[in-house]
Structure formats: C-alpha cells, structure tokens
Chain A
Amino acid sequence: MLKVESISKKFKEKLVIKEVTFEILEGEIFGFIGPNGAGKTTTIKIIMDFVKPDSGRVLIFGRPNTDISVRRKLGFLPERPYIYGSITGKEYLDFCADVFGVPYYERRKLFSRLLELVDLTGVEEQLISSYSKGMVQRLLFASTLINDPDLLILDEPMSGLDPVGRNIIASVMKDLKEKGKTVFYSSHIIQDVERLSDRVAVIVDGEIKLLDSVANIVQNFLKGYQVTARKVGSSNLEVFRAEPDELWPLLERLKTEGYEIISVEPERLSLEEILVSYIQRKRRAG
C-alpha cells in the first residue's frame, strides 16, 4: 500500500528525518506517534511529495509517489487544515468533485452522504467562515473521502476536535477499515491510537524507535496479573498479585490451597505510559 524506504531529510544542516523506513499493509489502521517536532509532519509531507527527501523513496500502491496517478485513490488531510472562509462548504466539495470528475447528478447524494458521516448535515450552503474550527476540520475530513480512496493519509485528524468530534472521526476510520481501506494517521492522542490502530510506529527526533502491533507492545509491557480468589465456603474476596511469569504457579498454589478463582486481570501499562517511559529513557540515553 504505502512503502517508505529509508528517507532522510535535512533542513539547513539539521537532520530532521533519519533513515525512516516502514511499510503499511492493506486494510490496516496504522498510527504514527511521536512528540512535537519529532518529524511526523515532515515525513507525511515527503510521502505526499510536497517536500523532496535528500535520500530514499516512497512508493504508493507500488508506484513512486511522484506519479500523480496514485492520487486518484488517495485521500489526504493536512495538519490543522484550512480552506477559504469566503466560499461555502458545497463549493469546496464541488471543487473536489470537479477534480475527480464526479458527474453533477451524483453530487447531491454523495455530498449529503459525506456530510452525514461527519454530522454536518445541512450546513453545506453556509459560508465556511461561519463554521467552527472543528466543523471545518470535519468538512475537510469528509472531503477526503469523495473519491472513495483506498488509502487515507491523515496528519493529526483528531487534534483540535472535542471528544464528540474525535469519536466521529474514529468511527469513520473503523468503518473504512471494515470496508478494507487502509488508514495511515499521525496523532498526539495516544488513547485514540491505542483503541484504534492495528500497528503503530513511534518516531522520536526523526528516527523510528518502535514499530509493532498495539497488542504486542502492550503485551510486552505487561506488569503482572491481579488474581481475585475466594476460599471455598468463605465470602471474603482476596486479591493476589503475580509477576508476568508467575501466574501459573500462583494459580496452582491457590488451587491446592482450596481457593476458587474469581477473576484474573492483566496489569498493563497503557500505551501512553509505555511511550512516555520509552521516550524518556531514549532521551536520557541519547
């Protein structure tokens, strides 16, 4: 789907992207996380051919990203997107439809479907200057779907949105995944990334530090288990802790001691805790 092959980029002697390599597979939601200034936007700009890398290359659908035909099936939302306030929402959607050659008789239905998706029904005739910031972002997000893209590239699609807006975007992304579409997006909001992504890449100071599935990362950072049990015949619940590799021995012991196991809860760090500690550790080491 999308292949980034060891791209590097210098801005005025400062190496901002260092040999970044990753591949996004068909049908997955891929989260791209990192602190401010890590190089997320720069990487995305290189993918979109707005900025040329000093070395390396990017393939989209197996073709170089400079080939504009790859954009027929691509949707892109920039960071903090903006569009002229002096036109209406419909006029902007018309522009997108013009580019993709959507015939006029299909537009009314298409536009209302897209607007409904992001909860903007009925505002298309209003000037964009009368929209709130979140509405603009949702409109522009919806407009990226106008060509029914196979791959969506979104730079912080949820920042600046309230929880309702974030949920809207997240549920559209999930729907797209169900339809077999691929989504690549960057974010600061790790909770969203955790519940939404199949895989994540973490970029810090222009380098990919970690790339794995969310399940694996969280699994690897398992702190231990909490076992709730009750002696047979007693009504008091007791709570036991086990280190990750001591769960089975604990369960065996409890069984022989005549306990009834009520529940076993893994104690996990959230993705956020993992990344914060990870990034801090790397920073100290570097």
Chain B
Amino acid sequence: MNAIPVAKLTFKELLKEKAFLGLLLFEVFLLFVSKLISNVVAGDTVKVAMDFALAFFFFTVALFSIFASVGSTFRDISDKVVYLILSKPLRRRDYVLGKFLGVAGAVALFTFFSFFVVTAGILTISSLSNLYVPHVIVVERVFLVSILTCMMGIFLSAFGLLFAVLFTSQILALLSVLFLFFAGLELSPVKELVTSSKYVSPINKVIVQLAYYLFPNFSLFDIKDYAVHLSLTVSPLYFLLVSVYFLIYTSAVLVVSTLLFERREL
C-alpha cells in the first residue's frame, strides 16, 4: 500500500493547519449564536438551539472538508510538493488515494472533536433551560448525526480532490465545491418543484429526475431532525443504504480524479 505514507503526511500536515483549530473555535462561537437565536425565536428553546447547532455542525464539517481537500492538494501542486512526492516510487494513483485517505482521516478527527464540542454545547444549553431533556438519548442521537456528518465530509472531500486536480485555479475549485455542496443539499425541493409543475415537459421531467439521482445528494447525510425531534426514528436500513451510496459514489469520484491526475502535466 504505497498510498499510506502520503496519507500519513497529509494527515499530519492538516492537523497542524490553522483551519483545523480555527474551525473548531468557530464551532464554539456558533454554539453561542445558536443559543442566542433560540432565545429570540418562538418555540422549544432547546430544540431550536439544537436545530441550529447541528446545522452549523454539518456546515462547519463541510467547510473543513472543502478547505482541507482543495487547500492541501493545491498547496502540493502549486508549491511543488508533488515533485518531491512523485519522484519517489509512487504512482499518481497512490498519490490521489493517499491524499484522499489523509484528508478523510483529518475530516474524521475534526468531526470527532466537533462532536464533543457540539454535545457539550447542547448539554449546556439544555441545562440552562428548565425543560426536560433526556440527555442520554440526545447524546446518542447526536453521535449518529456525527457519523453521517463525517461521511458527508469525506464524500465532499472526494469532490474537493476532484476539483483540485481538474482546475488550475484554487478559487474556482473552492467555489465549485461550495456550489456543488449547496446544490446537493437543495435537490429534493427543486425536484419537487419541477416534477409537480404543469409547465415542464415530460422529457425535461425525466431529465430532472435523472439528474436528481445522479447529482451528489448531500441532504441524504443530514439527519439532524432525527436528533432534534425524538419522536422521529431512522431505520438501520437507511444508514446501510446511505453507506452504500457513499462508498460507491466516493470510489467513482476517486477513479475519475485519478484518471484526470494521471493526464495532468505538473
């Protein structure tokens, strides 16, 4: 496994990047924001605060994944670290896979730390209110949310890597991944809108349907409602299917990234 040394190097580099600690601190800040919002919005304060806290959590992990994957790969290429790496007996596909695994490791660790930050925040917020909150169940559900959030981050990192080897401009790559992420979150509303509209031809409806299933669907990984509303349940089958989707799609993106990188002049 020649990809492992590259993965280790990438992982070490990312942990010491400012983005890692910076975004964790940002996460703490967002917890205060969630608390403030819950004070001014009507409804169950704890649920509102959790809703925002988990949305921010999802968003921060996405941001970290994008910066880690695009940033790290661009640093390698523009600062010529790739020359050092690829002059060793490593194939370009080892580099792509290693880079992905390293970023995935950093995303997993980031999510893990974030889980503690967010859980601590939510428990603090709930203990400040005088509503009854079953803490054990909440923590367990936030943990499940974290697992899918982590998967989302890793999935997004694969796209980050793809755009980083596809584009020669870092800004363009960052913006494309961000666009992809937000578009991938809003797929179902758009699909609903189009397929229920009288003004869209059946053929276009089919195209939209197809696009819906092919476009990376980041909202699949967003199960915060389940953590917030304890009456909701998610079946284990859902987790399984999302995992399969994640594995197949991520592998496909990595294969495409490798093919592109193998053709790229450095």
Q: Tell me the A residues contacting B by CB distance below 8 Å.
A: 45, 48, 50-52, 68-69, 71-72, 74-76, 78-84, 86-87, 91-92, 94-96, 98-100, 140, 143
Contact = CB atoms under 8 A, between A and B. Distances in A.
A147 to B, nearest CB: 8
29 contacts: A48-B83, A48-B86, A48-B87, A50-B82, A50-B83, A50-B86, A52-B265, A68-B89, A68-B91, A71-B87, A71-B89, A71-B90, A72-B89, A76-B83, A78-B80, A78-B84, A78-B87, A81-B84, A82-B81, A83-B81, A84-B13, A86-B13, A87-B12, A95-B5, A95-B6, A95-B8, A96-B88, A99-B89, A143-B84
Contacts of A94: 8
A76 B81 CA distance: 12
Interface of B: 2, 4-6, 8-9, 12-13, 16-17, 75, 79-84, 86-91, 265-266
B5 A140 contact: no
A50 B266 contact: yes
Nearest to A75: B87
Given A71-B88, A78-B80, A84 B75 contact: yes
Most central of A51, A98, A143 by chain B CB within 10 Å: A98
Nearest to B83: A78
A48 B266 CA distance: 11
A24 B82 CA distance: 25
Nearest to B265: A51
A74 B87 CA distance: 8
A229 to B, nearest CB: 56
B266 A99 contact: no
A99 B80 contact: no
Nearest to B78: A82
Contacts of A84: 13, 75, 81
A154 to B, nearest CB: 11
A140 B84 contact: yes
Contacts of B5: 95, 98-99
A145 to B, nearest CB: 13
Contacts of A92: 9
A91 B12 contact: yes
Nearest to B9: A95
A98 B8 contact: yes
Nearest to A67: B89
B79 A82 contact: yes
Given A83-B81, A84-B13, 5 more contacts: A45-B266, A68-B91, A86-B17, A87-B13, A91-B12
A197 B181 CA distance: 55
Contacts of B13: 84, 86-87
